[in-house]
């Protein structure tokens, strides 16, 4: 599964099934960045829960799951769209990625209403307003943390990797 760095309080993540399980460092994997905030290759640390036999990767807070643009860049893009102000300069590749990200966000409004309905009421037809409302909770780093913990979801997709693996009952 995947956690965000801000969800990890100690030196290593806890097993989601049993926090007493021994979790060992399990190398890293490389992810490409398409952003001045990201390195061309970012190494994501991975951990292995020994009793469960499952890995936990810990995504740095400036990174989005599966998207090559950084959290600050996407936040600036969404802020600019929602408030109808000019946005920071971006390469064509970044622009394409940001455009797809906003499109995904618009498709997620019903899901947000279901998940965050306890915190705030949404007008599901107004993506810009929803973004402004979400920003009242904090910056994008904070929003992603809130969606991951406790809701186990993310801004642009309900990634299966954010869910804990099932407990081993044998």
Query: 52 or 74: whose CB is closer to Zn ion?
Result: 52
Applying CB under 5 A, which of residues 17, 80, 119, 164 lies at the interface with Zn ion? 17
Site string for Zn ion, 26-55 (x = CB under 5 A): -----------------------x-xx---
Residue closer to Zn ion (CB basis): 151 or 165:
165
Task: Work out how close the CB of 161 gets to Zn ion at its nearest, in angstroms, rounded to a whole number.
Answer: 16
DSSP character string of 78-139: HHHHHHT-------HHHHHHHHHHHHHHHHTHHHHHHHHTTT----TT-HHHHHHHHHTT-S
Among 1, 3, 14, 15, binds Zn ion (CB under 5 A): 15
The answer to whether 25 and 12 are in contact (CB under 8 A) is yes
Neighbours of 102 (CB within 10 A): 18
Residue 80 burial by Cβ neighbours in a 10 Å radius (0-12, 13-18, 19+): middle
Shortest distance, position 17 Cβ to Zn ion, whole Å: 5
DSSP state, 141? H
| Short-list 26, 141, 16, 120, CA closest to 76 | 141
Q: Which is nearer to Zn ion, 48 or 119 (CB)?
A: 48
| Cβ-based nearer residue to Zn ion, 40 or 53 | 53
Question: Between residue 51 and residue 80, which ones bind Zn ion under the rule CB under 5 A?
Answer: 51-52
Shortest Å distance, C-beta 150 to Zn ion: 19
Q: Which is nearer to Zn ion, 48 or 113 (CB)?
A: 48
Q: Quick one: which of 5, 8, 21, 124 contacts Zn ion (CB under 5 A)?
A: 21
Kindly tell me the burial class for residue 13, based on how many C-beta atoms sit within 10 Å of its own C-beta (0-12, 13-18, 19 or more).
buried
- Residues near Zn ion (CB under 5 A) are 15, 17, 21, 49, 51-52
């Amino acid at each position: 599964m995947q956690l965000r760095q801000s969800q990890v309080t100690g030196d290593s993540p806890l097993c989601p099934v049993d926090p007493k399980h021994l979790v060992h460092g399990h190398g890293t994997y490389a992810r490409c960045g398409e952003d001045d905030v990201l390195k061309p290759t970012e190494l994501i640390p991975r951990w292995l829960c020994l009793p469960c036999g499952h890995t936990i990767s810990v995504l740095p807070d400036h990174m989005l799951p599966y998207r090559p643009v950084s959290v600050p860049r996407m936040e600036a893009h969404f802020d600019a769209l929602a408030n109808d102000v000019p946005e920071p300069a971006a390469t064509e590749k970044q622009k394409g990625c940001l455009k797809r990200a906003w499109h995904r966000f618009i498709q997620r409004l019903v899901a947000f209403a279901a998940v965050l309905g306890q915190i705030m009421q949404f007008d599901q037809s107004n993506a810009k307003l929803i973004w402004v409302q979400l920003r009242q909770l904090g910056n994008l780093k904070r929003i992603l943390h809130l969606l991951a913990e406790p809701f186990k979801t993310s801004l642009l997709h309900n990634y299966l990797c954010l869910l804990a693996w099932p407990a081993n009952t044998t």
